[in-house]
Amino acid sequence: MPLIARPKQAHSRNCTHLVGLLEDRWTNHFIRVLLDVAEASKFLFTRKSNNTFGLLELAVRTLHSCGHVVVQLDKEPGFVIVTPSVYSEMEAIAMSARYYIASPLHAANFNSIISVYRRLARRIGVHHDDVRVEHNINASLEFGMIASPIGLTVKSHKPVGEQSLRTIHKGYNTSFAGLTRWVQKILEPKLYAIPWYYKDSFSVREALLEMHVNKSVAVAKIDLKDSFLSGRSHHISIVVAAVFENPVRSLLQEALFLLLEHQYVVSNTLSCTYKCIYGSGIGLLTSASVASLYFLCPC
């Protein structure tokens, strides 16, 4: 169980009282105590949302209020809890990877980029013969951010000495979110047609239950290195769009190039914005789809 702290309004305000990993025989009792604390503090943290239990959200919020930074583990349950200065060093290490370059936003001509975006949105709307499509694509320009906030996870599951950081693009509210949603909607039918693609772990489980194998069969795990962060924007957009026919192909190619060519991230601790120059950043809506379809390329 991940580290969980007391809520701020509970009897003790001492944020150093953290509850660590518990033996199994204490787990149920601990959960009941936390539920009592949440109820007494009038917190609604007992529901599950966004794949995260409410009490876990309560723990993270409380740790943040103590001046700590909570960094989630990549594939294992739990966290790394660090000071803000250490987290700043972690972000600097992540941004020093070859996938990113320092790129101040003022160096880009965003007025020209937005003009291209709007013209493309108009052509997509004409293709669908629906002005609402154009409106939905352009709507995110009004409230979205050019740069996505940086998120980090720790690859603690790697062998000793090989642990590293995974950089997450928290791109749920960017200026280009409208176009991103359109691209994802176009890609999904082709994506789900890939015979080895499974939407989630539940789909994998169902497929495994239907398999009949004998004892001589071995199961191997294959890890594709840099699956998301591979390829350049020009080549990716051509390859992925090629599985479609015109006029969708040309529209999709332009949309993909625009999105991939302008992936900016920003942090609260580093003084510069960065540009992702390889692949599609982990965390963006279309990244898994783009990476999976790009993998089909025979070259």
pTM of the model: 0.76
Least confident of 42-51, 129-138, 164-173, 236-245: 42-51
Q: Please give the radius of gyration of the chain, using alpha carbons only, rounded to the nearest integer.
A: 22
Residues forming a β-bridge with 35: none
Tell me the CB-side half-sphere exposure of residue 71, using CA atoms within 13 A. Answer: 24
The fraction of the chain above a pLDDT of 70, given in percent, is 79
State the burial class of residue 223 (Cβ atoms within 10 Å of its Cβ: 0-12, 13-18, 19+).
exposed
Tens of pLDDT, residue by residue over 49-102, are: 455 556 667 777 777 777 778 888 887 777 888 888 888 999 999 999 899 999
Specify the amino acid at residue 177: A
Residue 150's nearest CA partner among 286, 284, 288, 285 is 284
Q: Which residue has the tokens 């900016």?
A: 264
Phi-psi region of 73 (alpha: psi -120 to 50; beta: other; left: phi over 0): beta
Going through 129-204 in order, the beta strands assigned E by DSSP cover 147-154, 165-169
